[in-house]
């Protein structure tokens, strides 16, 4: 019977099913249905479903967009995607952005917005690929390079991240780009470069992340007093932003709860944690459990250093979105903070199952396994991290230690030498190298 339906009717039914799910907040369940539907060929189905959206302001807004839409027009598709994106229908937004990018493959804006949504949906590699495509089509848009830098840093591609931040700085991203370069320098253990870059930025902007990075750098250089003072200042600091007109336009499509969540993101980015928590409390009162609300609660409490509450909300968030890897990574760090390495391992193992190419997850898993005495598991995790181009000195150092304990000194020496190349001041690696060289010398002289 279904095979006898016209193509348009088939699409209308698919869109009707998917949008009914979206209207009830079940965006993930709408994935397959939307993927098989052309939203604008089924305008009548769309309009029939809009009435099921409970938020009157949002329903009227999306109805206006749908009514004005021209079938197959990428700009109309894009506007509908932005409306879903801005109002918490994450999976629907991703799928419609995909349709928009397919309809207008050379339009950098749609690829960039798709990349942002992919990243928020936990698809880091694909987000980076889409952002690189967007940069190829519009290399002069600084925010693309800023996001690329952020995401490459998240993936631990430190050299590539620095190149992206440098490009963003050239294109006028200003203090935000300087902050990115400093983050890359900190991950490369170039602490003096961090201090030199951030001293002026902290004086001019009092940016909370700049203060925290500078604190980390001074602590690594041995000045605990300066480190503590900078952290104190960070609690009262405010943010600095770079201009991103394309994302600003998405925020203009937010209505109701979506608009308030965007306010929360801005508040957290500016250090206004208590204000953000007040908004979140209002959003949560009397409402059904919502992943975005729970996740932002967790970020706010983490920022406020209320770690027990942060953990509670993260646990609630992953019940709603089990594959959201940033939630699991943050939970793992909180479990480690509580010396619960078993809990941390469980979350890190979950991350590497759902995202096997995320280098930082293998790296952190190795360190936690090492603390638990699981040297075999740690070595395998470090081995994977190295295969994914880890440049963390201690990944190579502990690989060398494990190999040395197994009597494999030639292989251990390679890791100790790599450690010293990455961090010439790593005295334990120098001692390990000398010990292994002496062991081999003694064995040869027998």
Domain boundaries, the chain: 1-104, 256-306
Instruction: Return the closest-CA partner of residue 422 out of 431, 412, 414.
Output: 414
Q: What is the pLDDT along the chain (446 residues), one digit of tens a residue?
A: 222 223 332 333 233 333 333 333 343 434 344 444 444 443 544 554 466 677 778 888 887 887 777 767 899 889 988 988 888 778 778 988 998 999 999 999 999 999 999 998 888 999 999 999 999 999 999 999 999 999 999 888 889 999 999 999 999 998 889 889 988 988 888 888 888 888 777 766 666 677 777 777 877 777 777 777 776 665 444 445 567 888 888 888 888 788 888 888 888 877 788 989 999 999 998 888 889 999 999 999 998 889 999 999 999 999 998 988 889 999 999 999 999 999 999 999 999 998 898 888 999 999 999 999 999 999 999 999 999 888 788 999 999 999 999 999 999 999 999 999 888 889 999 999 999 999 888 887 66
- Six-digit token pair at 140? 């002069």
Interatomic CA distance for residues 161 and 359, integer angstroms: 15
**How many C-alpha atoms does 91 have within 13 Å on its Cβ side?**
20
Give the 3-state secondary structure of residue 280: helix
CB within 8 Å of 119: residues ≥ 6 apart: 127, 147, 151
Q: Give me the torsion for CA of 393, 394, 400, 404, rounded to 10°.
A: 150
Token look-up 């002026």 returns 200
Between vectors from CA 88 to CA 298 and to CA 291, what angle results, nearest 5°? 35
CB within 8 Å of 148: residues ≥ 6 apart: 128, 131, 132, 135, 160, 161, 164
Strand segments, DSSP code E, in 359-421 are none
Alpha-carbon 99 to chain mean position: 23
Strand segments, DSSP code E, in 248-343 are none
Alpha-carbon 251 to chain mean position: 19
Alpha-carbon 66 to chain mean position: 31
CB within 8 Å of 65: residues ≥ 6 apart: 76, 79, 80, 83
Rg (CA), the chain: 25
Confidence (pTM)? 0.67
């Amino acid at each position: 019977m279904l095979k006898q339906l016209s193509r348009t009717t088939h699409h209308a039914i698919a869109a009707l099913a998917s949008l009914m799910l979206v209207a009830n907040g079940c965006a993930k369940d709408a994935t397959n249905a939307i993927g098989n539907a052309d939203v604008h060929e089924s305008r009548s189905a769309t309009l029939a479903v809009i009435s099921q959206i409970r938020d009157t302001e949002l329903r009227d807004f999306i109805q206006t967009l749908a009514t004005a839409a021209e079938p197959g027009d990428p700009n109309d598709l894009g506007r509908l995607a932005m409306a879903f994106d801005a109002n918490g229908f994450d999976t629907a937004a991703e799928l419609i952005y995909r349709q928009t990018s397919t309809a207008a493959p050379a339009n950098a804006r749609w690829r960039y917005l798709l990349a942002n949504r992919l990243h928020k949906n936990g698809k880091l590699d694909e987000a980076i690929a889409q952002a690189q495509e967007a940069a190829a089509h519009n290399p002069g848009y600084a925010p693309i390079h800023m996001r690329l830098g952020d995401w490459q840093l998240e993936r631990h591609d430190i050299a590539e991240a620095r190149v992206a931040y440098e490009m963003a700085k050239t294109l006028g991203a200003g203090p935000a780009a300087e902050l990115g370069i400093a983050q890359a320098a900190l991950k490369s253990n170039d602490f003096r470069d961090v201090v030199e870059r951030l001293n002026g930025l902290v004086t001019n902007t009092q940016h909370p992340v700049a203060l925290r990075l500078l604190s980390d750098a001074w602590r690594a250089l041995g000045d605990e007093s300066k480190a503590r003072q900078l952290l104190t200042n960070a609690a009262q600091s405010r943010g600095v932003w770079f201009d991103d007109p394309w994302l600003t336009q998405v925020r203009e499509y937010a209505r109701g709860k979506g608009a308030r969540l965007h306010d929360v993101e801005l508040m957290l980015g500016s250090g206004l944690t208590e204000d953000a928590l007040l908004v979140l409390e209002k959003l949560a009162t009397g409402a059904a459990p919502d992943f975005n609300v729970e996740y932002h609660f967790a970020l706010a409490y983490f920022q406020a250093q209320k770690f027990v509450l942060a953990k509670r909300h993260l646990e609630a968030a992953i019940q709603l979105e089990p594959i959201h890897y940033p939630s699991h990574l943050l939970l793992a760090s909180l479990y480690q903070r509580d010396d619960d390495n078993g809990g941390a391992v469980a979350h890190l193992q979950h991350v590497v199952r759902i995202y096997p190419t995320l280098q930082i997850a293998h790296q952190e898993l190795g360190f936690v396994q090492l603390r638990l005495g699981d040297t075999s598991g740690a070595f395998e995790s470090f081995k994977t991290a190295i295969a994914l181009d880890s440049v963390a000195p201690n990944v190579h150092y502990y690989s060398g230690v494990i190999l040395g304990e197994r009597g494999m000194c030639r292989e251990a020496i390679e890791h100790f030498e790599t450690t010293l190349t990455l961090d010439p001041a790593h005295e334990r690696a120098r001692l390990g190298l000398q010990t292994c060289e002496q062991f081999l010398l003694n064995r040869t002289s027998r």
